[in-house]
């Protein structure tokens, strides 16, 4: 079985990180992507120390520093009146406490450096316009079929194919998705189009009634990325990257906040997507098939851990594969090693979203007052996140 390549479905962050980690250890892989080219959507992502440690250990320190932003501070503010609830020094504290910096970047830039690094090792292992049709597990290998009727044999198939994962559907045919009643908006604005009152702001989380809005610079400060979530009764499309209209975006966030109104006014084509809870993802693995990243454990974007968690998955899996010479039963160890941390991340992300969206006036006053007072005493934001950021996938003990 080991003489056949590991087949990776999806050329996103989890798939490319996994491929690079395996290639650097002389493990053969093939990557199949359903799109016709490498993903170029410009959404922003947070790369916290648990993600940065992975990129540095993969030899990408110079590249990530060449385009990403290292925020000095982060702020929490009241959406309606702008009152500063908490302010935390981010990077000086992060590097001192966790040994690695905190970055904010465009998703496509991270994908491009992973893609380029893979091409340096082998430029003939990524195939585009290959949509997975199905796969069949056999005694010593797996046969994968694509919609173009091509068939490929591999030792394992790893589903890095996102929220609509076909590998997950095969492993969990009874799994169902349910709309969370939250939609998210993303957009990119050119900094030159914004006044200094916005361009000089720290990365900020605005906490409102059943909504929140986050913005931060990317691309070495040349662009402003934003993400906003808002409660909605229904959603008809599970795709996260459909375009919405500026008018609808304005309607969702109103005119109560002049800064957010100005940002929205200067966005070109905002993206929107529905947040879904996928129930009963019981099986991440079989003997020769596995799902990682969003395919296995989608989570709310309110903790900024989607990309970091995907990279953690990739490194832990690569270490498990390297540890098991014949791969026999190795995929089951992945779920055993990751399930506890991932569930905790999912719960923390959901809890953050609830805190950001508090509507009850009394509860909001209590929580906002608590944040304000605690921030005067302790570094509440970093303390709350310490268990996330100190995790190092490259040296954590494998069970």
Strand-strand pairing, 211-218 and 44-47: unpaired
In this prediction, residues 164-192 reach a mean pLDDT of 92
pLDDT score, position 242: 79
In this prediction, residues 11-21 reach a mean pLDDT of 97
More confident residue, 127 or 399: 127
| Interatomic CA distance for residues 44 and 68, integer angstroms | 10
| Interatomic CA distance for residues 22 and 45, integer angstroms | 24
pLDDT score, position 280: 67
Q: What is the length of the chain? A: 399
Whether the CB-CB separation of 264 and 249 falls below 8 Å is answered with yes
Task: Give percent above pLDDT 70 in the chain.
Answer: 97
| Interatomic CA distance for residues 137 and 200, integer angstroms | 55
| Interatomic CA distance for residues 328 and 326, integer angstroms | 5
Residue 237: pLDDT over 60? yes
| Interatomic CA distance for residues 295 and 136, integer angstroms | 19
pLDDT band at 279 (very low <50, low <70, confident <90, very high): confident
Q: Which two tokens stand for residue 204?
A: 């900020």
In this prediction, residues 155-176 reach a mean pLDDT of 94
- Three-state SS at 176: strand
Q: b or e along 92-124 (b: 16 or more beta carbons within 10 Å of the residue's beta carbon)?
A: eebeeebebbbbbbbbbbbbbbbbebbeeeeee
Residue 1: pLDDT over 60? no
Domains in the chain with CATH codes: 6-175+278-389 (3.50.50.60)
Residue 240: pLDDT over 70? no
CB neighbourhood size of 153 (10 A): 14
Axis-axis angle for helices 380-389, 361-377 (nearest 10):
80
| Interatomic CA distance for residues 238 and 48, integer angstroms | 27
Which DSSP string do the residues of 38-83 spell out, in sequence order?
A: ------EEEE-HHHHHHHHHTT-HHHHHHH-B--SEEEEEETTT--
pLDDT in tens, 331-386: 999 999 999 999 999 999 999 999 999 999 999 999 999 999 988 877 778 888 99
Whether the CB-CB separation of 14 and 311 falls below 8 Å is answered with yes
pLDDT band at 179 (very low <50, low <70, confident <90, very high): confident
In this prediction, residues 221-239 reach a mean pLDDT of 85
pLDDT in tens, 26-71: 999 999 999 998 876 668 999 999 999 999 999 999 999 999 999 9
Whether the CB-CB separation of 49 and 393 falls below 8 Å is answered with no
**Biggest alpha carbon–alpha carbon distance for the chain:** 64
| Interatomic CA distance for residues 186 and 44, integer angstroms | 8
Of 139-143, 236-240, 299-303, the one with minimum mean pLDDT is 236-240
pLDDT in tens, 314-344: 999 999 999 987 788 889 999 999 999 999 9
Return phi, psi of residue 153, to 5°: -95, 140
Residue 396: pLDDT over 80? yes
Torsion-angle region of residue 59: left (phi > 0), alpha (psi -120 to 50) or beta?
A: left
Residue 239: pLDDT over 80? no
Residue 7: pLDDT over 90? yes
Residue 176: pLDDT over 90? no
pLDDT score, position 77: 96
In this prediction, residues 16-34 reach a mean pLDDT of 97
Return phi, psi of residue 389, to 5°: -75, -25
| Interatomic CA distance for residues 356 and 207, integer angstroms | 5
- Cα Rg for the chain, rounded, in angstroms? 21
Q: Which residue has the tokens 């000089």?
A: 200
Residue 169: pLDDT over 70? yes
């Amino acid at each position: 079985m080991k003489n056949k390549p590991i087949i990776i479905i999806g050329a996103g962050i989890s798939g490319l990180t996994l491929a690079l980690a395996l290639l650097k250890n002389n493990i053969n892989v093939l990557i199949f992507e359903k799109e016709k080219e490498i993903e170029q959507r410009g959404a922003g992502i947070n790369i916290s120390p648990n993600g940065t440690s992975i990129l540095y250990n993969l030899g990408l320190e110079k590249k990530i520093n060449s385009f990403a932003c290292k925020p000095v501070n982060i702020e929490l503010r009241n959406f309606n009146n702008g009152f500063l609830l908490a302010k935390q020094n981010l990077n000086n504290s992060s590097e001192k406490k966790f040994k690695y910096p905190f970055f904010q970047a465009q998703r496509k830039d991270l994908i491009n450096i992973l893609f380029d690094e893979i091409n340096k090792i082998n430029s003939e292992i990524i195939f585009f316009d290959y949509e997975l049709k199905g796969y069949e597990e056999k005694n010593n290998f797996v046969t994968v079929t694509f919609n173009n009727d091509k068939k490929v044999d591999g030792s394992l198939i790893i589903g890095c194919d996102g929220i609509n994962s076909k590998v997950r559907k095969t492993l969990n045919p009874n799994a169902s998705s349910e709309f969370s009643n939250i939609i998210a908006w993303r957009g990119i604005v050119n900094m030159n189009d914004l006044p200094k009152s916005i361009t000089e702001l720290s990365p900020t989380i605005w906490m409102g009634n059943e909504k929140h809005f986050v913005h931060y610079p990317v691309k070495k400060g040349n662009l402003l990325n934003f993400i906003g979530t808002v409660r909605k009764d229904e959603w008809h499309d599970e795709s996260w990257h459909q375009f919405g209209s500026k008018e609808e975006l304005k309607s969702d966030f109103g005119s109560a906040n002049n800064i957010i109104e100005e940002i929205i006014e200067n966005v070109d084509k905002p993206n929107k997507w529905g947040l879904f809870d996928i129930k009963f993802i019981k099986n991440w693995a079989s003997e020769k098939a596995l799902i990682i990243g969003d395919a296995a454990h989608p989570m709310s974007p309110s903790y900024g851990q989607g990309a970091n968690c995907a990279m953690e998955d990739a490194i832990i899996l690569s270490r498990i594969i390297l540890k098991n010479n014949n791969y026999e039963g190795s995929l089951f160890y992945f779920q055993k090693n990751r399930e506890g941390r991932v569930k905790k991340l999912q719960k923390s992300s959901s809890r953050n979203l609830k805190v950001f969206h508090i509507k009850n006036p009394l509860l909001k006053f209590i929580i906002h007052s608590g944040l304000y007072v605690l921030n005067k005493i302790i570094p509440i934001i970093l303390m709350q996140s310490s268990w996330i950021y100190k995790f190092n996938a490259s040296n954590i003990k494998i069970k």
